[in-house]
Chain A
Amino acid sequence: MTKNKRNILVFFVLLVLWAGSFLGDICFGSVHVALSEWSNPNSLYHDILYDFRLPKAITAVLVGAAISVSGLLMQTMFHNPLAGPYVLGISSGASLGVALFLLGSSVFPFLFLNDSLGLILSATIGAVCVLLLIMLFSLRLKQAASLLIVGIMLGQLAGALVTILQNHSNPDSLKLFIVWSFGSLSAVSWTYMQVLLPLVLVGLLLVVFLLKPLNALLLGEKYAKSLGFSIRKIHIIIIICVAILAGGTTAFTGPIAFIGMAVPHIARRLFNSDNHLITFPASILCGAILLLWCDMACQLPPNGHVLPINAVSALVGTPIIIWIIIKRKR
């Protein structure tokens, strides 16, 4: 029972950290803004807080939670601690989708659709395609390590196609794509938020229905089947969830490296548990906190320069992953 008490305490600490980081992310930026400016609707600072920093902080929370949970799902599904949306090429698939959408218009003019929904759809479709390919290979490749290599290769393949597209596209759309691929949380305005928020919430809600079969999957697919679950059905729902959570959010913010893979491990370590009833909410909180921190780190350079979030998340994520690999002496 002491274990339960400890878990509650850790959750409480995480919640406090989360709230603190959220406020911190709003206060902290290239321009110093006091929170008291909030109440003054006529000030320029009010606009910065309300139209820029608040949606950015909410985006960090939503996207951090979404990619972390998708990493958790993939790690359980593939029985591989190194699985994650970025490593398995899901983000690359989304990139390819977006590249086709943004750059492909010069190659295939008839595809041209200048519309945010098109961007989101193309990223999601790209992510799903890569996921389905990986699933297909997973039927043949029983060894998780080889599957991981296939995922990395698919990512490289998508990257190569993106390079070809870049080579043939006009400079304007090229810049648009490059900026997207740096990753940015501030690209989400209140209008986009109306899509992102429900998207993430629906994705997370779907995962809630998966928690029980996910726990059974921990024991392996045969055991899960013997416990009364249809493996095929569960895999399909997991793919849909990952597509929504990883593919959908990548569309808005660009690829964000390694957070999705690192956060589930942090969650497991904090609670010493693989039980998804614990790791799911823990991943949501840890993912949100970590991405808020990454976003704050982006604002560190002086004189209004801002670092791309994709680079910062990789700087934060990779040491964590190396630490995980060293810790697992198996």
Chain B
Amino acid sequence: MLKTEDLSIGYDHCLLEHLNVQVRAGEFICLIGLNGSGKSTLLHSLCGLQKTLSGNIYIDGKNIDSLKQEAVAKYFSLVLTDSIQVDNLSVFDLVSIGRCPHTNWLGYLTPKDKRIVYQAIEQVGLASKLNTNFNSMSDGEKQRALIAKVLAQDTPIVLLDEPTAYLDVLNRIHIMQLLKNLSKQMNKSFVISTHELDLAMQVADTIWLIADNQLYVGTPEDLLLQNIFQQVFKIECDYSEETSVLFHLPQDTPKVPIAVYGDDRSSRLMQKALERKGFRVTENASICIWAKGKTFEIDGKIFTTIADVLNYVAANYSD
């Protein structure tokens, strides 16, 4: 879907260079990094909001620089951290503005546009606030309204810059869960910058971690397995029983049973990743994964990352 080629980004000085990342259709990516590490810059650069220093960005095989702004707006929709300062804007009006790339020169909403706007508002749970003034709503509701705007824009890729900042604990969990569900239902790719490491580890298909002017990419479990967090944050970081209980997000009903055997830590991480992907991990199952150090064996094949195992299992055993 989206691919970068030797991309360098930054303002006057380079923040991140030689980025070769990709976003697959329907992928849920969480972007993690300290303040000022370049999270926003990366998001802005990906969608052409900010000039890149060098390198290329391809969307559907087309170089983004060759596309007009109108065409780019049909690929990317955004939720930014900038506050919106309007006194009299209803939720409906706000979400309708999201339809801009699809409406005519006057911005006239056809019945189809209106249906999409209503549907988007319903999907984020604001149906009862249709005519409420945007600026009179709570931060959580504002975030939902902006997410509805993004849904109305109806783009394959959605970029969200810290959608959970300034929110209370409960709202953070609800927003993350909402985003995850939307990405699943609508098969949209989400790239979300966030400081919620624990939430991100539970919902992300892929983590983009910015640290020390480098971007580390991998499934949450792979990053743990390779001790990346320990390396870059210089702190101990792993799944414990407590964290998985404290913020447990409900997952879809697990279907295919898989058994995981082997080393304690790597099998536990493997199990975690499988559960996140909607598989049921049991003691006895026809599909078995053997974890040994940093390698995994399934059906006689050896894999070195959890992501590869997940891809293999998803390709062969999902129903």
Name A's B-contacting residues (CB within 8 A): 3, 79, 81, 208-209, 211-212, 215-216, 218-220, 222-223, 225-230, 268, 271-275, 277, 328
A227 and B80 contact, Cβ closer than 8 Å, known pairs A211-B107, A218-B97, A277-B107: no
A3-B131, A226-B76, A227-B101 given; A212·B106 CB < 8 A: yes
Contact A273 B90 (CB under 8 A): yes
> Is there an interface contact between B100 and A275, defined as CB atoms closer than 8 Å?
no
For the complex of A and B, 10 pairs with smallest distance between CB atoms: A228-B73, A212-B107, A228-B70, A227-B100, A226-B78, A228-B101, A274-B88, A274-B89, A218-B86, A274-B86
User: Quick one: which of B44, B80, B89, B106 contacts A223, CB cutoff 8 A?
Assistant: B80
The chain B residues found within 8 Å of chain A, CB to CB, are 44, 47, 49, 69-74, 76-78, 80, 82, 84-90, 93-94, 97-98, 100-101, 103, 105-107, 131, 153
- Within the complex, the shortest CB–CB distance from B45 to chain A, in Å, comes to 13
Q: Report which of A216, A226, A268 forms a contact with B88, defined as CB distance below 8 A.
A: A268
Determine the chain B residues whose CB is within 8 A of the CB of A218 once the complex forms: 84, 86, 89, 97
Closest to A221 in B: B82
List of B residues within 8 angstroms of A219 by Cβ:
84, 86, 94, 97
Q: How far is the CA of A230 from the CA of B105 in the complex (A)?
A: 14
Q: Check B86 against A229 for contact (C-beta < 8 Å).
A: no
In the complex the two chains form, is B80's CB within 8 Å of A228's CB? no
> Which of B69, B105, B153 has the largest count of A CB atoms less than 10 A from its CB?
B69
Q: What is the CA–CA distance of A226 and B93 in the complex, to the nearest angstrom?
A: 17
CA distance A228 to B47 in the complex (A): 11
- For B49, list chain A residues within 8 Å (CB): 222, 225-226
Select which of B69, B78, B97 is within 8 A of A230 by beta carbon: B69
Q: How far is the CB of B275 from chain A (nearest CB, A)?
A: 35
> What is the minimal beta-carbon distance from B73 to any residue of chain A, in angstroms?
3
Distance in Å: Cβ of B77 to nearest Cβ of chain A:
7
Q: In the assembled complex, which residues on chain A have CB atoms less than 8 Å from the CB atom of B82?
A: 220, 222-223
Which residue of B has the minimal Cβ distance to A327? B87
Contact of A215 among B84, B90, B97 (CB under 8 A): B97
- Nearest-neighbour CB distance to chain B for A233, whole angstroms, equals 9
Report Cα–Cα, A296/B264, bound state, in Å: 89
Q: A211-B107, A227-B98 are in contact. Are A220 and B93 (CB under 8 A)?
A: no
Interchain CB contact (< 8 A) of B77 among A212, A226, A268:
A226
CB of A228 within 8 A of CB of B98, answer no
Bound CA–CA A223/B149 (angstroms): 11
Residues of A within 8 A of B44 (CB): 222
- Whether A227 lies near B97 (C-beta < 8 A) is yes
| B74 (CB) vs chain A CBs: closest residue | A228
CA distance A328 to B252 in the complex (A): 47
CB of A215 within 8 A of CB of B107, answer yes
Q: What's the least CB distance linking B113 to chain A, in Å?
A: 13
Q: A222: which B residues are within 8 A, CB to CB?
A: 44, 49, 78, 80, 82
Extra 13 A-B pairs, beta carbons < 8 Å, given A222-B44, A226-B73, A272-B88: A3-B131, A211-B106, A211-B107, A215-B97, A216-B97, A218-B86, A222-B49, A223-B80, A226-B49, A226-B76, A226-B77, A227-B153, A273-B90
- Minimum CB distance partner of A3 in chain B: B131
Distance A211 CA – B90 CA, assembled complex (angstroms)? 17
Cβ of A272: which chain B residues have Cβ within 8 Å of it?
88
Q: Which residues of B contact A81 (CB under 8 A)?
A: 87
Residues on B with beta carbons closer than 8 Å to the beta carbon of A79: 85
Asked whether A274 lies within 8 Å of B87 as measured between CB atoms, the reply is yes
Q: Which residues of B contact A225 (CB under 8 A)?
A: 49, 69
Nearest-neighbour CB distance to chain A for B174, whole angstroms, equals: 23
B115 to chain A, nearest CB (A): 15
Closest chain B CB from A208 CB (angstroms): 7
Shortest Cβ distance from residue A232 to the other chain B in the assembled complex, whole angstroms: 10
Could you write out 28 A-B pairs with CB less than 8 Å apart? A81-B87, A209-B105, A211-B106, A212-B105, A212-B106, A218-B84, A219-B84, A219-B97, A220-B80, A220-B82, A222-B80, A225-B69, A226-B49, A226-B78, A227-B98, A227-B100, A227-B101, A227-B153, A228-B69, A228-B70, A228-B100, A229-B69, A268-B88, A272-B88, A274-B86, A277-B106, A277-B107, A328-B87
Nearest B residue to A275, CB-CB: B93
Most B-side CB within 10 Å, residue of A79, A218, A219, A229:
A219
CA–CA, A212 to B108, complex, Å? 9
Please name all residues of chain B whose beta carbon is closer than 8 Å to the beta carbon of A212 when the two chains form the complex.
100, 103, 105-107
User: Smallest distance from the beta carbon of A156 to chain B beta carbons, Å?
Assistant: 27
Task: Name which residue of chain A comes closest to B68, CB basis.
Answer: A228
**A226 to B84, alpha carbons, bound, how many Å?**
14
The smallest C-beta distance from A226 to any residue of chain B, in angstroms, reads: 4
List the A residue with the shortest CB-CB distance to B109.
A277
Which residues in A have their C-beta under 8 angstroms from that of B71? 228
Please give the distance in Å from B58's CB to the nearest CB on chain A.
Answer: 19
A227 touches B88 (CB 8 A): no
Q: How far is the CA of A270 from the CA of B71 in the complex (A)?
A: 37
Chain A CB within 10 Å, residue with most, of B44, B80, B87, B89: B87
**Cα-based distance from A289 to B24 in the complex (angstroms):** 57
**Alpha-carbon gap, A327 to B205, bound state (A):** 48
Q: How far is the CA of A60 from the CA of B300 in the complex (A)?
A: 87
* Bound form: Cα–Cα A275–B84 in Å: 14
Cα of A219 to Cα of B149 in the assembled complex, Å: 11
How distant is B255 from chain A, measured CB to nearest CB, in Å? 38
A-chain residues with CB within 8 Å of residue B70 when the two chains form the complex: 228
- Min Cβ gap A291→B in Å is 24
A216 to B153 Cα, complex, angstroms: 12
Assembled-state Cα–Cα distance A221/B180 (Å): 28
Output the least CB separation between A276 and chain B (Å). 9
